[in-house]
Structure 1
């Protein structure tokens, strides 16, 4: 018997401007022990299907037509109370953002035990032991101690493991996983995917994985359903869909997946989508505002960035007695250089210290020990705010989540203009507005985007706004901290091509942080591999991928999704 079946599903979102059809005439099924992958771009309807199955459609969304069956029993027409009993007990859900699934005011133990007691016939002690066992199953070290902690004390990857443990605690028949590994590095992702496969085989659990990561699809799914603008355009066995897709959208989507096996000059685009072209205009650097006045008054010929014996410690237990204070070493004795015009990549697990190094270089953290030289000047020895501002202008950061780094109450014009005004780079308001519109046009948004607010843009468009803002000071150095990890593969290709073009045109130097090894191979000239705060290996990119020296580097590359089913682009 089919475990989960969706028949002729149609989901509508009524509004004053009319009715938007998010999903139309979709038919899907999941068998016991099977993993179904649902792929497609943002807005394709993937997550909407998952929410409809468990009765969590956001108002005013509604199921206008269709039926949902669990082991032959229709569940879409159940009462709200019956659906609540169904969720967690028979259908588990793993959401993309673990912070939305966890209560920040309760310990992990309390949240797990509460769910276990609600759905299973266990006493308090048995539920507490099961909570510890679940954390151990999902790979959280020292579970007896960590179960007593709060969500903010876990890294992003560790929080996602807790969410997976919550989904598993009542031993559901079906699990719907909405982007379960988006925020995870390659080693954690491999462990989570192995856990998912093991669960489906041993417990005969059916799973629907909603993702834009083709590596996840290749590694863990048995069948794939491809969504495009609310319609199911193709469905079949994973090997067939990845190796010999029939629909032009599927063919185009797969071609945009970053190649893990060799470096290409540019990322292929999803040509099937009308707006997928490279919207950025070519740049005449000599006559463009971005190319002017970028001489910062020094003629230093060495590496632009030189990091020497860098340490970062965080206080984990305070005490009035210095001897009783406890510290965590986030970065230990890091040494590396980034030459002018080079893209230097940092890879490693969550909590390895990658972002901590970026924050120390940018001045957001003060190192416990060590030096950071920028064009020969030790940034750790700067004492005046005026000199700090001089160097801040020369380096800018692009963050992982563009929405949280953009002020939702300001128009894009003011967001991008802020650094121009702060550093006095324009002589008048009119000149500032001209520069901002030119920047927005250059990153492929068009100058009319200046009058809109961040919420009016997609994730990829918001990241373009972040790039425009970063360019507004005409920097020499960009720090890109997971700039595309939350984006669809086609949008990722556009953003990475844009960064490549800007780096070539403006001679930018970049620190590029990512857990996506194929992206690192395509983007970077050199790569540093980090683990537990230590920089284990630094090598030219191709040398690292073809002949890694450190055993941990070898381990990471072995875990990298090979996409062996995918046709070469």
Structure 2
């Protein structure tokens, strides 16, 4: 029996430059209780297919050709009113970011009840009882009291569970899950994937699982379709497609997946060409950038040391005169990063990783503890004025380059800003020349300097963010989840670039990530955090092969990876 049938689907988007074919001739099917994975690079058409199935293609996109059937229902023949009714009744969707999927001004109870009453004739009391049962089913403890909470009062994983409850509350036959675990740490991701698998097995719900994470597909999907440029490269049983790929593109994708059981010197990236950092010794722009970055003797690696650093945040108000007890975000953390090395920092959401980064950069002041950079005391945020050397020597690369780059400025102005801010280059023409040279160093074309952030892909924007950080001539670089939002092939390019730059300029790096396989590839040493405390730290091979803490072993066990026998095949 076929639940969803997609036959020769073609989707086009008209524009003033002609029609863009986003999806061309795609066919796939999903049976009851089946999880069908849809993988491919950004722009492959994965989300467009999901939007076409549920009838939410952004204007002016339209289905040009093909058949879409849910059971016996022709989805293309439905009137707008009937299509609206079908959404929620028979097809639901789980989006990537639960924070934007939930109304921050409504309690979880109100949102669940409103959804149920919009799609069925049910009393408010009965809807509430069903909502509590749903929250308990998806693993939210004390659902009777938590149901009256607002979305911001839940963790990221709990919010994603609420979104799943919203998708389930109308008993749909099919759920489209668009990157449902991308922003989640490995423990919460494992819980959400187990929930999806259980719903498919016990309720017979079909899932179209859209993701760029090959490990997630290997863990839960029954079948997989590989897309590139809107076309199907190959499709079939997950073990067959991933274990014995028939198409060169699928093999290239598999080569880009970082293994967790060993360290690679370099990722294989098809057609990378100049994708890594340029090592030229001549007068090309990349060589000019290299000479400028290593000028004035700033090539000696520096180390970082933290001693008993504690951070407390004020508790929420419980009335006019009282507050809850302060929240301890970091509890006496002591660690060191050796000069010229990479320290990987891992742990669940809320473990204190990003708070630690903010303390180092001076964005958060610790309640107690000492810090030093290169053997000299590193003052807390309030004692670190704008002209303090640490503000330049410590730079940060953020998770989302689109939100960290000013959308109103072109790349030339974005890259020139640190040169002006830190007084490194007063001449505007020289700042532009150095910015162009840095673009060449990170593998971007010269004409990128006059473009704006929205004109680049995610991987290209991250290269721009890296170039901006380097133009400050830092000695300590913090990378906070710099590849978590990128597909595997683009991730491989960015990781190769970071490896090149770290070795080229002797940078000391703190690499924060929830992806343990990525940490294995970059880090010389690893520190594991849980609930604001340092659980263990040591050489990378020791942490991954002989972890001492039960918590570390749990993180490794929960990480979705390609089975070793599939790689060998």
TM-score (norm 2): 0.94
Contact 1:4 1:30 in 2 (8 A): yes
Matched, 1:292 2:295: yes
List per-residue Cα deviations over 1:437-466 (Å, max 9, x = no partner). Answer: 011111111221110000000000000110
- Measured after TM superposition, the shift of residue 46 of structure 1 is 0.6
List per-residue Cα deviations over 1:105-136 (Å, max 9, x = no partner). Answer: 22222212211232345432332333334333
Question: How many angstroms apart in 1 are the aligned matches of 2:479 and 2:437?
Answer: 22
Structure 2 counterpart SS, 1:25: strand
456-465 or 359-368, which deviates more? 359-368
Counting matched residue pairs gives 562
Structure 2 counterpart SS, 1:484: coil
Question: How many angstroms apart in 1 are the aligned matches of 2:368 and 2:147?
Answer: 33
- Measured after TM superposition, the shift of residue 385 of structure 1 is 5.0
- Measured after TM superposition, the shift of residue 375 of structure 1 is 2.1
Question: How many angstroms apart in 1 are the aligned matches of 2:255 and 2:323?
Answer: 56
Question: How many angstroms apart in 1 are the aligned matches of 2:149 and 2:30?
Answer: 36
Contact 1:54 1:87 in 2 (8 A): yes
Q: Structure 2: which 5+ runs fail to align?
A: 282-286
**Alignment correspondent of 1:176:** 176
Question: How many angstroms apart in 2 are the aligned matches of 1:163 and 1:389?
Answer: 45
Question: How many angstroms apart in 1 are the aligned matches of 2:397 and 2:381?
Answer: 24
**Alignment correspondent of 1:537:** 536
84-93 or 130-139, which deviates more? 130-139
Going from structure 1 to structure 2, the CA distance change for 1:316 and 1:169 (only over 3 Å counts) comes to farther
Contact 2:365 2:382 in 1 (8 A): no
- Measured after TM superposition, the shift of residue 102 of structure 1 is 1.4
**Alignment correspondent of 2:352:** 353
Going from structure 1 to structure 2, the CA distance change for 1:46 and 1:507 (only over 3 Å counts) comes to same
Going from structure 1 to structure 2, the CA distance change for 1:132 and 1:316 (only over 3 Å counts) comes to farther
**Alignment correspondent of 1:492:** 491
Structure 1 counterpart SS, 2:216: helix
List per-residue Cα deviations over 1:524-567 (Å, max 9, x = no partner). Answer: 01111111222111121100110110001111111122311532
**Alignment correspondent of 1:131:** 131
- Measured after TM superposition, the shift of residue 3 of structure 1 is 0.3
Structure 1 counterpart SS, 2:81: helix
Going from structure 1 to structure 2, the CA distance change for 1:354 and 1:381 (only over 3 Å counts) comes to closer
Question: How many angstroms apart in 2 are the aligned matches of 1:364 and 1:141?
Answer: 34
Question: How many angstroms apart in 2 are the aligned matches of 1:323 and 1:481?
Answer: 35
- How does 1:439-454 map onto structure 2 within 5 Å? 439-454=438-453
Contact 1:314 1:329 in 2 (8 A): yes
Question: How many angstroms apart in 2 are the aligned matches of 1:277 and 1:197?
Answer: 41
- Measured after TM superposition, the shift of residue 295 of structure 1 is 3.1
Going from structure 1 to structure 2, the CA distance change for 1:381 and 1:138 (only over 3 Å counts) comes to same
Question: How many angstroms apart in 1 are the aligned matches of 2:241 and 2:221?
Answer: 11
Question: How many angstroms apart in 1 are the aligned matches of 2:5 and 2:240?
Answer: 22
**Alignment correspondent of 2:60:** 60
Matched, 1:199 2:204: no
368-377 or 338-347, which deviates more? 368-377
Structure 2 counterpart SS, 1:118: helix
Structure 2 counterpart SS, 1:318: coil
- Measured after TM superposition, the shift of residue 96 of structure 1 is 1.3
- Measured after TM superposition, the shift of residue 168 of structure 1 is 1.8
Matched, 1:39 2:45: no
Question: How many angstroms apart in 2 are the aligned matches of 1:449 and 1:514?
Answer: 29
Going from structure 1 to structure 2, the CA distance change for 1:283 and 1:351 (only over 3 Å counts) comes to farther
- Measured after TM superposition, the shift of residue 282 of structure 1 is 1.3
**Alignment correspondent of 2:400:** 401
Going from structure 1 to structure 2, the CA distance change for 1:387 and 1:29 (only over 3 Å counts) comes to closer
Contact 1:399 1:481 in 2 (8 A): yes
Structure 2 counterpart SS, 1:288: helix
Going from structure 1 to structure 2, the CA distance change for 1:306 and 1:290 (only over 3 Å counts) comes to same
**Alignment correspondent of 1:456:** 455
Contact 2:362 2:380 in 1 (8 A): no
List per-residue Cα deviations over 1:170-212 (Å, max 9, x = no partner). Answer: 2211011111111111111111111111100000111110111
TM-score (norm 1): 0.94
**Alignment correspondent of 2:284:** none
**Alignment correspondent of 2:260:** 260
List per-residue Cα deviations over 1:293-333 (Å, max 9, x = no partner). Answer: 2539xx8x9x7211121222222323688764432222212
- Measured after TM superposition, the shift of residue 247 of structure 1 is 0.7
- Measured after TM superposition, the shift of residue 283 of structure 1 is 5.2
Question: How many angstroms apart in 1 are the aligned matches of 2:186 and 2:380?
Answer: 37
Question: How many angstroms apart in 2 are the aligned matches of 1:389 and 1:158?
Answer: 40
**Alignment correspondent of 2:509:** 510
- Measured after TM superposition, the shift of residue 279 of structure 1 is 4.9
Question: How many angstroms apart in 2 are the aligned matches of 1:204 and 1:155?
Answer: 28
Contact 1:117 1:123 in 2 (8 A): yes
- How does 1:153-552 map onto structure 2 within 5 Å? 153-269=153-269, 271=270, 274=271, 278-282=275-279, 284=281, 288-293=291-296, 295=298, 304-318=303-317, 324-380=323-379, 385-386=384-385, 389-552=388-551
Structure 2 counterpart SS, 1:111: helix
Structure 1 counterpart SS, 2:56: coil
Going from structure 1 to structure 2, the CA distance change for 1:329 and 1:109 (only over 3 Å counts) comes to farther
Question: How many angstroms apart in 1 are the aligned matches of 2:36 and 2:384?
Answer: 55
- Measured after TM superposition, the shift of residue 351 of structure 1 is 1.3
Contact 2:304 2:337 in 1 (8 A): yes
List per-residue Cα deviations over 1:2-43 (Å, max 9, x = no partner). Answer: 000111111001111111100011111000111100111111
Contact 1:98 1:163 in 2 (8 A): yes
Question: How many angstroms apart in 2 are the aligned matches of 1:383 and 1:200?
Answer: 53
455-464 or 73-82, which deviates more? 73-82
Question: How many angstroms apart in 1 are the aligned matches of 2:384 and 2:312?
Answer: 24
